[in-house]
Structure formats: structure tokens, C-alpha cells
A and B are shown apart, each in its own frame.
Chain A
């Protein structure tokens, strides 16, 4: 056994061993990096150096900006307005509330860029409303859980930004990644809406909800102003007026003005606690960024990505088969683990595989987001599943049983995204 192999084994054991006893994952990453640094006899300043390097990136600012904008809008009654907006279009149909749910999740995701926020905000308003109209609690919960996954695929998903940052050299721009997420988002939403409606009618949930004519004007007005941040982001990127980071800052400014001076659902005193929530999410994301910067350096010197590439290409050289295998692998990995660490760890490992198969990194980014997103709904560690169950007091086992048809639907969505790369690539290539 040569020295590198021993190092890899020690690295793996340290990482998994510490992870199992619940040491924070970022700290496991630092510890396993540290072990290899000691074995390679590197100076430990390098760790601090790499950590600060990982954070010394203007694009990283995009993450707190979009999270803050989403939080302000979310707390300010965004979900309520978007749901009424969606009701206007689809509430009149049989099984329409299921469709409204999917659309509202897409729209909310387009502003918050986060599945958990999507689940918590849309779920709080939408699930009781569906139950009132005769839908079963389990159906409403599992539908919302599945629909909120759109939040990690559509812009401004902060997981997509993490992917761009983890990709390292010659990474696709965040602008291009955001554009790549647009059509897949629409397709997932369409598939979920059709399937949701079908399942709702099959289960006999057919009561519709029509918004009275005299309220139409206000609902449309509110709806348009609510989806404006998304228009600012995509419009700004489309026209080249500003970068993704700048779009984030402008979205914050817009969200602040509209929430505290026009909607006034919450008072300006709530602003400070909202920043605190943003701070919390940034805290864990940034620790992960800093730790992974040192870790990916270690991965490279141990040539782990090359080994994984050789292993995977040994199974098959057909990109279509390999992408399927990788997607399944990502879903399996994400069942017990969180999404962000997996993005940071798996992206540099899988990067040479992608390059070898000539798969566009934009396309792969979207595949990764959706695969890991599906992982958010799978026990034993599905964050969105847990939030959904906590919200409606449903035991996890029961929710999972009702999730089964939705797992199938989400898997179909994943297959569509994998095998129709044009969906992800058309917009960014069109804009180039």
C-alpha cells in the first residue's frame, strides 16, 4: 500500500468517524483536511490561508443578499399574496387547489430560492386552506413537500451559487446557472401540476375556490408586485444591466421598501430579527465554504477526483447511463446528509467525470440540484420532509407512505431534466 492510499483511508475514516458522532460537518471537513496536512507535512498556516481564500470571493455575497431578500418578502406575507395570485388562474378548476399549490411554490421559490422556506411559508397558508376544502391533510402535506423542491432548482437558488463556487476553476457564471434553472423549473411545475390535479381528482378532492370578481384587480396588483424581485433578478441578468450579486442587493432594497412601506403586514421592528435569521443561514454556509476550500485542495493533491472518474468511467462510458447512476448516487447520499455539504464535497469530485463525458456543467448543476432536492424529502434526514411533518403534525412514516406517488413523479421530473439537456441549456446558450 503506498502512502497516498494510506492518506486516503485516514482521511475517509476521520471524516466519517467524526461525522457519525455528530461533530458539525464543516468541522469534520477541517479535521480530515488537517490530518492529511499533518501527514503531508504542510504548514498549518495553509489551512487558514485556504479558508480565507474560500471566502475571498465577491460572488459569495450573492448568498446573503438573496437570502435576506427572500426572508423579508417571506415574512411580509409573500406566500399569502402569491397563493391568491395563483388561485386567480387555477382555483376555478377541479382539483385546482393542488395546481395552485404547485404554482405558488414555484413563484415563492423564484423569490426565496430555498426549499425549506418554500415549504414553511407556502405550507403554513396552503395546507389548512386545502384541508378546509376537503383535501386530506396527508395529501396536502406531501404535495407541498414535493412542490417546494422547485425552490432549489429555480433562480435565485443559493444552492446553485454554492455549486458555482464549489466548481472552482472555469466555473459557469452564476448568471448562466440562474438562466439554466428557469425552464427546468417550469417543466417540474407543469409535471407536478398535472400529476397533482390527476391525483386530487382520483381521490375525490374536487372542490374549487373562486376569487370574487371585485377582488381581481387587487390580487393581480399584489401578485405582480410580489414577483417583481424575480423580474428584477432575471431581467437584470438578461439585459446585462447588473450582475447576480448586484441583482441581490437591489432585490433586498426592493423587498425592504415594498414590505415595510407598502404592504405593512409587519412593522419595521421585525427587520432586525429577519437579519438575524439571514445571519444564521450565512453562518453555516460560510463555514462550509471556508472548510471546503481547504478540503478540495486536499482532494486534488490526493488525486481522489481522478480515481472516482476512472471508477465511474469503468462502469460505462455512455454519458446517459453515467448521469443516471450519478443522479441515483446523489439521491442516496442526500438521504442521510444535508444538501449544502454534499454540493461542496461532491462537485469537485465529480467535476472531472463531467468534463470527461462532455456534459455541460450548467446541465449537470441542474441535475445535481434536483437530485439533492429529492434527497430533502427522503428520510432519515429530509429537511423539507421534517418541516412539512412538523407543520401539520403528521408522523413521518405516514407522510412517507403518502409521498410514494410523489417520489415517482419527482423521479420522472429528474429523468426529463437528465435526458433533455436542451431544457437547461437553451436559455444560457441563447443569451451568450
Chain B
């Protein structure tokens, strides 16, 4: 008896440890996308001021902003899956029972979508090692494409958790976007 209790305790601690690890990774990505947005603003402002005040247009600013934009977008897309805020057609109401199955079905679609992003995003990325961005120290554009599989992995996590009915929403009641 005591043994099994102990094992259960260890298991519970293990699950806690893993879940807190996952949550902090998730949190880190969210903070990262906020910081990316701020960096993009700073770069574009810098570009305007340097052009107007010193007649100097940095060559790297455009490429680096687009690089950050792609990462920002794909991390944002993944976050949208966690918060379940992607626009959906909600004019029809279903019964509670069918809602249950529909939710599962939607999670399955999300998982399939995330797998496509992971598999084909990685394929695309591997092809992209040949091309480089000259203004960013010849960085292969594969590092930009990497955003797709990373976002795919995040969506896969959220999809699996949502399939088992775990609510991962961090923020309640954020306003709409029209």
C-alpha cells in the first residue's frame, strides 16, 4: 500500500514538474513575441530618424524586421490556438452533447494542421539552407522558415491538451479585433 502511494506521489510530482516546465516554455514564447513587437517598432522608428536626421538609411533594417515579423506572426498564430481566439462561425448553437464531440473534432483538426506545419515546414526549412540573407551576415533563410515548425510544435501541444479537455487559456476576456 505504502509503496503504491509513494509511486503515485512521485508520478504526481513528475507530472507537476513536466507541466510547469511546459508552461514556462509556453510563457517564454509569449513574452518573446511581445519583445519582438517592441524591437520591430524600435527598428522602424530608428530607420525614420536616421534617414531624416542623418540621411542614412540602414540596409539591414528591412530584412531584419521581416525576419522578426515572420517569427512574431507564427508565434502569434500558435498563441491564438491556445487562447482559442481564432475567428469562428458561431451563429449556430448545438446541444451540449454534440458540442462535446465537435470540440474533440476541432482539436483533431488542429492536431492534423500542426503536423502538416511540422512535417512540411521542416522540409521547406531544409531546402532553405542554400539561400542566405546578405544584409544579416549571410544568415540562411532557413532560420526564418524555422518559425513554421516551431509554431507547429506549440499548436500540437495545445491541440493534444485541448483534446483531453484541459483548458490552457492564460488570459480571460481580451477584447475583439474588428
Contact = CB atoms under 8 A, between A and B. Distances in A.
Contacts of B144: 52
B175 A22 contact: no
Contacts of A248: 44
Contacts of B178: 114-116, 152, 159, 338-340, 376, 383-384
B86 A287 contact: yes
Given A47-B116, A58-B65, A25 B176 contact: no
A61 to B, nearest CB: 6
Given A275-B38, A337-B89, A383-B178, A280 B80 contact: yes
Contacts of B88: 19, 22-25
Chief secondary structure at chain B's binding surface: helix
B89 A20 contact: yes
B42 to A, nearest CB: 8
A285 interface: yes
A380 B91 contact: yes
B158 to A, nearest CB: 12
B87 A340 contact: yes
B174 A277 contact: yes
Interface stretch (A131-139, A171-179, A239-247, A353-361): A239-247
B44 A245 contact: yes
Interface in B38-67: 38, 40-41, 44-45, 47-48, 52, 62, 65-66
A44 B113 CA distance: 12
A302 interface: no
Contacts of B83: 280, 283
Given A339-B178, A384-B178, A68 B37 contact: yes
Interface of B: 30, 33-34, 37-38, 40-41, 44-45, 47-48, 52, 62, 65-66, 69-70, 72-74, 76-77, 79-80, 83, 85-92, 102, 105-106, 109-110, 113, 116-117, 119-121, 123-124, 127, 144-145, 147-148, 171, 174-178
Given A120-B175, A282-B37, 16 more contacts: A21-B106, A22-B88, A22-B92, A25-B86, A27-B113, A44-B119, A48-B117, A48-B124, A57-B66, A249-B40, A253-B41, A277-B174, A283-B83, A287-B80, A339-B178, A381-B91
Interface of A: 18-27, 30-31, 34, 43-45, 47-49, 51-52, 55-58, 60-61, 64-65, 67-68, 114-117, 120, 152, 159, 241-242, 245-246, 248-250, 252-253, 272, 275-290, 336-341, 376, 380-381, 383-384, 387
7 contacts: A18-B109, A20-B92, A23-B88, A45-B124, A51-B148, A272-B34, A284-B177
